[in-house]
């Protein structure tokens, strides 16, 4: 069992965040290019390529999909920034146990790791706002959009932490992505209105976290307020993923 020193909370969290900052500076152009590639392709293929043939009553198709693309991209980036790094530390570098044994309480270790994914997602969201402007779409950045992006990034960073603490190989992590993230990417209203979906399928889709991120960002982009129910559901998902991930950290710490 590791020993937790008094004051380790601040120094441990700062160390993890500082390490991520150094990695970000060293790989700035790679990270930036990766964050822009898929959103650019989505906007080109769905916005320009398909957009001419899709008619919506109150807005262009590219204006409809851009908030969904932001939610989708920040989901993927936040998840991967945490899950892949944890998987490498756990399976390949074999130093995750040493980090857990450091003088840092498990909830703060989890929050530090999740914060790195959230910050990476926020950076990607700022790039997507600029990219959307080049495509003629204004997302009306403000506190409501910032709140939604932050909580969306926190939810999927926490899911990434949970996955990273659970899986034991890179192949298992790919399966999590295939069975969890990919279905949400295409089913949660990112590219089509949910009112076209059969009732039973719609109820299932409404239980998924990305659906509420997409709906909230789309509402803010149209000048409306964030649906309070969506915020509550996203907060519940974050607490659930954080709680399970922290519990798994304690289990790994106890076995160290």
Q: Closest by alpha carbon to 69, among 154, 190, 182?
A: 190
Residue 68 has pLDDT above 70, yes or no: yes
Write the pLDDT tens digit of every residue in 92-118: 766 666 566 666 677 788 888 999 999
- The pLDDT of 66-88, averaged and rounded, is 92
Give tens-digit pLDDT for 232-249.
Answer: 999 999 999 999 988 887
Q: Is residue 189 part of a domain?
A: yes
Residue 171 covered by a domain: yes
Measured CA to CA in angstroms, residue 74 lies from 134, 173, 179, 217 at distances of 19, 18, 18, 12
Does residue 114 fall inside a structural domain? yes
pTM equals: 0.88
Q: CA nearest 157: which of 228, 85, 219?
A: 85
Per-residue pLDDT band for 76 (boundaries 50, 70, 90) equals: very high
Instruction: Please say whether the beta carbons of 175 and 255 come within 8 A.
Output: no
Q: 80 lies in which domain range? A: 8-254
Number of domains within the chain: 1
Q: Is residue 3 part of a domain?
A: no
205-235 confidence digits (pLDDT tens): 999 999 999 999 998 888 888 888 899 999 9
Would 73 be classed as within a structural domain? yes
2 falls within a domain? no
pLDDT recorded at residue 179:
92
Q: Is the pLDDT of residue 5 over 50?
A: no
Residues of the chain above pLDDT 90, percent: 46
pLDDT for the residue 51: 63
Tokens of 16: 């993890």
Note whether residue 1 is domain-resident: no
């Amino acid at each position: 069992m590791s020993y937790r020193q008094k004051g380790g909370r601040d120094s441990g969290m700062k160390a993890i965040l500082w390490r991520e900052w150094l990695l970000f500076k060293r790989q700035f152009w790679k990270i930036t290019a990766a964050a822009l590639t898929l959103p650019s392709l989505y906007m080109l293929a769905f916005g320009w390529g398909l957009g001419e043939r899709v008619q919506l009553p109150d807005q262009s198709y590219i204006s409809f999909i851009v908030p969904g693309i932001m939610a989708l991209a920040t989901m993927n980036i936040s998840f991967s920034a945490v899950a892949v790094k944890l998987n490498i530390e756990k399976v390949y570098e074999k130093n995750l146990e040493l980090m857990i044994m450091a003088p840092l309480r498990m909830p703060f270790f989890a929050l530090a790791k999740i914060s790195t994914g959230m910050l990476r997602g926020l950076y990607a969201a700022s790039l997507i706002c600029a990219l959307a402007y080049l495509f003629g779409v204004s997302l009306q950045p403000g506190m409501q959009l910032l709140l939604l992006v932050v909580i969306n990034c926190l939810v999927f960073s926490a899911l990434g932490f949970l996955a990273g603490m659970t899986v034991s190989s890179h192949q298992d992590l790919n399966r999590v992505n295939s069975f969890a993230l990919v279905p949400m990417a295409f089913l949660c209203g990112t590219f089509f209105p949910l009112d076209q979906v059969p009732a039973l399928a719609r109820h299932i889709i409404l239980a998924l976290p990305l659906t509420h991120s997409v709906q909230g960002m789309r509402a803010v982009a149209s000048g409306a307020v964030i649906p309070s129910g969506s915020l509550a559901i996203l907060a519940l998902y974050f607490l659930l993923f954080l709680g399970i991930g922290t519990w798994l950290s304690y289990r790994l710490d106890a076995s160290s």
